[in-house]
Amino acid sequence: MQKDYREVLGKFYETKIKEIMEKRPWDIPHLKQDAEINDVIASLRDKHHVWIVNSEESEKLVGVITEKDILGIFAHPEDFGYKPSPKAIPSLYHGTAGNAESVMTKKVITCNLEATVKDVVTTMTKYDVRRLPVIDENEKILGEVTLMDLINKFMSVAYQYGKRV
């Protein structure tokens, strides 16, 4: 018989992200926008993404680099099916992938401390992402929330309501 999780989901959706986000700055992968491409690649060996900040002092979020972005710089020019301008696409082959800023995605989908789980689930679903940086009003990165954080919180709430998942 199918379990009814509506009550659990109601409580889960109301949870503020600040209660469940990763808050340890040393665990949040980030580099400065002028970081060398070899440092970016090395960072991605341990994580699937790295947040890009303008400086260590301000930690203002300016971009993100994911494994998919790196796949693009590894591509051989013949893989594109046409001959792109060497300046058009960051490429290790053409030597145009010089630093983090040259390969990062500049339009980052974010959330803030007051966002609810419902807000974050909606955003993650809409943009097909599994993690969001949590920023303040100055766009300083404060932490991140991942799909795994949401799963763990759901399990915790379900347990409180006596529901086994």
**Non-local CB neighbours of 91 within 8 Å, separated by 6+ positions:** 72, 73, 75, 77, 97
In whole angstroms, give the CA distance from residue 73 to residue 91: 4
Cβ neighbour number for residue 143 with a 10 Å cutoff: 20
Condensed to tens digits (0 to 9), the pLDDT of residues 74-106 reads: 877 666 665 656 556 787 877 888 899 999 999
Give the pLDDT mean for 122-150: 95
Tokens of 71: 């796949």
Q: Which fold has domain 6-160?
A: CBS-domain (3.10.580)
Domain residue ranges of the chain, discontinuous segments joined by +:
6-160
In whole angstroms, give the CA distance from residue 129 to residue 59: 22
Condensed to tens digits (0 to 9), the pLDDT of residues 11-66 reads: 999 999 999 987 776 678 899 999 999 999 999 998 889 999 998 888 899 999 99
Distances (CA, A) of 7 to 4, 19, 122, 157, 158: 8, 19, 18, 10, 9
In whole angstroms, give the CA distance from residue 25 to residue 80: 38
